[in-house]
Amino acid sequence: TAKMVQMTLLHGLFEWSASSLSALGALSLFVNGDVGTAQYIGECALQMQERCESEAGKARTIYVVHTFLFQHVKPMQSFSKPLIEGYQSGMRTGDKDFAMWCLFFNIVTLYMGGKPLKFIEEQCQASISQMDELKEEEQASCLRMFWQLFFNLMGSSNSTIELCGEAINEQEVVFTDASHAAFVVVKIIASSLSGRYELGAHLNIEKGDKQYLMIKGGINPAFMFWFHRSLCLYAMARKNKKKRRHYMAQAKLIHKEFTKSLKNKNPNVLHYVILLKAEQAALKRKRDQENV
């Protein structure tokens, strides 16, 4: 990545200039946590892509900036159009890997933006058919997990927590780092929404998940993961008096990160902060009642 950026600075634009610059932006956010700098690099990468005569690398550029960078500064409801553009560009240029990643994160963005589950489920079916046809197994595996979650949430499956049904059987999955990160995101959502708070509070995060689930430098569904994790932790703090301080400490750390992100004008975390404040108030009220 750094070498390609250096080549651009020395010799001018070439077909991979924009995508390498976008990757540098993601790396800078992961290492330094500086949202402003990462946003600037991402915007420069998109401008560079527009100026480049070749469309090669466009799918990757769009994927990187909308998956790792812009969720801190732009409404995620606006991501669907560019992600579809990235998918279409990838298909035109033969970059089917990043075309399918754009397709996957478009589905996740639709869910995070509150689109109807039935509509998203139909999009999953069409997208997975294409991923299977193109033999992009990792993207298909990640999307199948979300697809099964949507079946579970719609009541179309016998399961609530387990990902076992029409879309996937979690016991048969051969995980990669990316697919396991998708798995823990889906499991924490299912645990939280099904009232299985202890499972959500203790869901194991493996070493390979951490890169993907960082609030700064991770994928945009990391916001959902940490929000639902914090909900589970606050719920367990209310239920388990003996371990209350332990659960509260973890929940407050996550809550603090979202509050800090909101102060930095992140447009995607306001509802998270409001709901976590309500959970914190409910916990305080319970403690006050116990002390009467």
What are the Cα distances from residue 31, in Å, to 1, 35, 38, 216, 226? 15, 11, 11, 9, 19
Other CB atoms within 10 Å distance of the CB of residue 201: 26
**pLDDT at residue 291 in the model:** 77
**pLDDT at residue 5 in the model:** 72
Q: What share of the chain is helix, strand, coil (3-state, %, to 5)?
A: 75, 0, 25
**pLDDT at residue 242 in the model:** 93
**pLDDT at residue 292 in the model:** 67
**pLDDT at residue 118 in the model:** 96
Other CB atoms within 10 Å distance of the CB of residue 114: 10
**pLDDT at residue 11 in the model:** 64
Determine the distance from the C-alpha atom of residue 119 to the mean position of all C-alpha atoms in its chain, rounded to a whole number: 20
**pLDDT at residue 286 in the model:** 86
**pLDDT at residue 173 in the model:** 95
Q: Contact 199/191 with Cβ under 8 angstroms?
A: yes
Give the chain's residues under pLDDT 70. 1-2, 8-12, 292
**pLDDT at residue 87 in the model:** 98
Q: Which of 51, 58, 69 is CA-nearest to residue 94?
A: 58
Q: Contact 179/173 with Cβ under 8 angstroms?
A: yes
**pLDDT at residue 75 in the model:** 96
Q: Contact 261/29 with Cβ under 8 angstroms?
A: no
Sorted by sequence, the CB contacts under 8 Å of residue 263 that are 6+ apart come out as none
